[in-house]
Amino acid sequence: MGYGYGGAVTVEIPLDEELLGSFCRRGRRRLRELQDATQTIVRLDRTRACLSVTGTESCIAVVQRHLASLGGPRRDVVPPVWAELMRTRTLQKGGAALARIQSASGCRVHIERQLREVRLFGPADSVALAQSLLEELQDQCCEQVVLESISDQDLENLPGLLEPLAMDHQVTLCVNASGLRVLGLRDRCGAACKELEALSQSLEEGLQRRNAQPAKEADASEERHGQVLMQIPPARDASQSSAKSTGSQEVPQQDLNIQQFVMGSSSRYACQAGCSLK
């Protein structure tokens, strides 16, 4: 609905539950920032769940575009895409997946840690482009199984031993009792799998010998990251089904121990970031 006087127009913009909650929590500060940035008068109507915006049509269009960028629609992604986005989340060079998608689309991509999904923040056209680029990334990624199962004893040492190989090949390795998987771009996964299969007869000893070799010189212009995960998060539907079956109202949290590594100057490999995503 809109009405105006003397060149100014007032429109009411409905807010979804999440966006309304955001405005209610941050209140006057967020409204003031929105007014200053768009040269409009903005009032929040909590009862009717809408914003009343007064200004020129062009300024109101800016407000609408800004609100669209705050919505952050959710998109499920397959395990290899989620892993590649997580692996490249701090990278800027070498066509890193996350930076490339954000730069090309103008959309901010937030990777959920507890669920295998992303949120896309931006105008509708940017969100659509980001979604298209995510689909392209899916075609470029794969997941390959190296081992079908791993004993509890081997699990104590393997994650640390696998770190250098993950970084050298710039892939994600997921290792747990269900086995060892390689996730990432197809060509890199293929090379990593080939080396792992050659070592698989005595994986722990083979990795120890490999890691004892002199480190390769890193290209200063290239950012080389790899990560070792103990778990890949579930999709939203799977999490909700699990929550219902256990009587829980919350999405079950995964113990996703992520270790990401980058070439260090004082030692062969240095830990660049490590966090327990709960």
Task: Answer whether CATH 3.90.550 is correct for domain 74-139.
Answer: no
Residue 262 has pLDDT above 70, yes or no: no
CATH for the 2-70 domain, from 3.30.1370.10, 3.30.10.20, 1.10.10.200, 3.40.50.720: 3.30.1370.10
State mean pLDDT over 10-30. 85
Residues 105 and 130: beta-carbon distance below 8 Å:
yes
Backbone angles phi, psi at 41, to 5 degrees: -110, 125
Residues 65 and 37: beta-carbon distance below 8 Å:
no
How would you list the strands of the sheet with 256-263, edge to edge? 141-147, 179-185, 172-176, 226-229, 256-263, 269-277
pLDDT band at 242 (very low <50, low <70, confident <90, very high): low
Cβ atoms < 10 Å from Cβ of 186: 13
State the Rg of the chain over Cα. Answer: 23
Whole-angstrom distance, CA of residue 99 vs CA of residue 93: 8
The reply to whether 74-139 shares the fold of 2-70 is: yes
**Closest residue by Cα to residue 45 from 11, 4, 8:** 11
**Closest residue by Cα to residue 25 from 64, 69, 70:** 70
pTM of the full structure: 0.72
User: pLDDT at position 92, please?
Assistant: 84
The tens digit of pLDDT for each residue in 75-104 reads 999 999 999 999 999 998 767 999 999 999
Residues 1 and 45: beta-carbon distance below 8 Å:
no
What are the residue boundaries of the structural domains of the chain, listed by start? Answer: 2-70, 74-139, 141-210+221-277
